[in-house]
Structure 1
Amino acid sequence: MSGIRINPSVLSADFVNMQADLDRIAAADFVHVDVMDNHFVPNLTFGPQMVQRIQETSPVPLDVHLMIDDPERWAPGYAELGAASVTFHLEASSEPVALARRLRAIGARAGVAVKPGTPAESLYDVLDEFDQILVMTVEPGFGGQSFMPETMPKLAALAAEARRHGSAVWLQVDGGISASTIAQAAEAGADTFVAGSAVFGADDPDLAIAALRAGAASAHAHAH
């Protein structure tokens, strides 16, 4: 198992004081940026201009999560802005492997996300086409939702398949990740954790990040 990554979600940041909030998470590995289009999910966040400003001011690399229709059209632009990682939804993509290859060619890590109800088997044969698989642990669209433990068997199955393939793909979870749920996700095989309010809502985000990291590391030690 490679390292543990903690990626705070800007959905929980103060949009008016974004730079100050970004400076509070310098201990994180990436900052998770949720782009929603009010079509693929019933919520609207921001687009390329805002992401570009976050890119210019963030102390850590960007992990962009596109909850949008037609990622073939829009995803490459986020890679071109300099995002370190760009994740699109399997459910929205017409050519996921071709899109992942295009993102990698631009220089970003290519990620693919699956909603709670989407089976993971469709990804088994193409694991190595992606640098990251995001297993949504809530229905995408809104921050602050409760973690869905019923998504853990899918995560564990993906982790087992990745091991079988000798794949280096990162397994990310997003939704309801906190000090009380991170161990469950880590035991099931996640190594990359999106946390929103658990980090930005803390008095000391650095301490919160360290606590999440320690919780995941401890769970990994027990699981292996």
Structure 2
Amino acid sequence: MVKIAPSILSADFSRLLENVSEVEKAGVEYLHIDVMDGHFVPNISFGAPVLKSLKGKTNLFIDVHLMIENPDLYIKDFVDAGADLINVHIEACRHIHRTIQLIKSYGVKVAVTLNPGTPLHTLDEILPELDMVLLMSVNPGFGGQSYIESTTKKIEKLKKMISESGLNCEIEVDGGINLSNVKEVVKAGANIIVAGSAIFNTSDIDATVKAFRNAI
């Protein structure tokens, strides 16, 4: 089953809970939480208190994407705030295996993200430890960017790696996904689709989510 994960980076923060409730009623499965620190990526979003404000107010699976330096320092804060999965960038982790074990110690799922320019072989030693891999299909830091076409082949290669290893690891793709390319992304092997502006910046969220389902 393909899951849809709206990114709250594109939500209206003056009515955040209302937006979250809208996507939940529309039938999405995940809520994608993009955390940016202005150092690892050239933008700042929000911290754990914003996520904590939603705790107990939604039944969506909370997928926290830490686009930050020194993520180990903040993992517990986001788990306490309600994260069901912590996703760290391999480029930001000096000791990635240690970080993976730290996340697991809190009893939540673990994922690793690769930027567009990061090769798949960086996963060779850690793939069996992961619940999910997130492939960025834009350079992280800003919403509303265009999908990098070479990502499709990268998804296919990752899917083959996972299948040949007999692993149960999900593939999430984030960046520039819309109704015109989501079918291509899913066909390549992705089963979790992050969409921000393509969902939240529409006049009818319910109709947009249904359109995504039909496209998939």
Task: Name 2:89's counterpart in structure 1.
Answer: 89
The CA RMSD over aligned residues, in Å, is 1.3
What residue identity is the alignment partner of 1:12?
S
Tell me by how many angstroms 1:102 deviates. 2.0
Q: Which amino acid aligns with 1:4?
A: V
Once the two structures are TM-superposed, the CA of residue 160 in structure 1 deviates from its matched residue by 0.3
Distance in 2 (CA, whole Å) between partners of 1:79 and 1:97 is 18
Q: Mean Cα displacement is larger for which, 99-108 or 174-183?
A: 99-108
CA distances 1:1-53 after superposition (whole Å, capped 9, x unpaired): xx211000001100111011111111111110100000000000001111111
Aligned equivalents of 2:208, 2:55: Cα separation in 1: 23
The answer on 1:31 being equivalent to 2:31 is yes
- Matching residue of 1:220: none
Gapped regions of structure 1 (runs ≥ 5): 217-224
Alignment of 1:45-64 (within 5 A): 45-64=45-64
1:40-68 deviation digits (Å, cap 9, x = unpaired)? 00000001111111334334121110000
TM-score (norm 2): 0.94
Residues 1-224 of structure 1 correspond to what in structure 2 (within 5 A)? 3-26=1-24, 27-216=27-216
CA distance in 2, matches of 1:152, 1:75: 30
Measure how far apart 1:210 and its partner are: 2.6
SS of 1:31 mapped into structure 2: strand
For residues 100 and 207 of structure 1, the distance between their equivalents in structure 2, rounded to whole angstroms, comes to 38
Q: Flag as ranges the 4+ runs of structure 1 deviating above 4 A.
A: none
Counterpart code for 2:140: P
Change in 2 beyond 3 A, CA 1:206/1:104: farther
Question: CA offset at residue 79 of structure 1?
Answer: 2.0
Displacement of 1:191 in angstroms is: 0.5
- Aligned to 2:38, the other structure's residue is in SS state coil
The one-letter amino acid paired with 1:83 is: A
Residues 51 and 82, structure 2, Cα contact 8 Å, conserved in 1 = no
Number of aligned residues: 214
Shift of 1:97: 2.0
Runs of 5+ in structure 2 lacking a partner? none
- The answer (yes or no) to whether the contact 2:9–2:34 under 8 Å persists in 1 is yes
Q: How far off its partner does 1:127 sit?
A: 1.2
Between stretches 75-84 and 126-135, larger displacement belongs to: 75-84
Q: 8 Å contact 1:75–1:88 — kept in the other structure?
A: no
Distance apart, 1:184 and its partner CA? 1.4
Q: Name the structure with the higher helix share.
A: 1
CA distance in 2, matches of 1:93, 1:12: 26
The separation in 2 between residues aligned to 1:126 and 1:69, in whole angstroms, is: 20
Identity of aligned residues (%): 35
Q: Secondary structure at the match of 2:74?
A: helix
Instruction: State whether residues 144 and 197 of structure 1, in contact with CA within 8 Å, keep that contact through their aligned partners in structure 2.
Output: yes
Distance (whole Å) between structure 1 residues aligned to residue 99 and residue 80 of structure 2: 14
The DSSP-based 3-state class of the residue aligned with 2:126 is helix
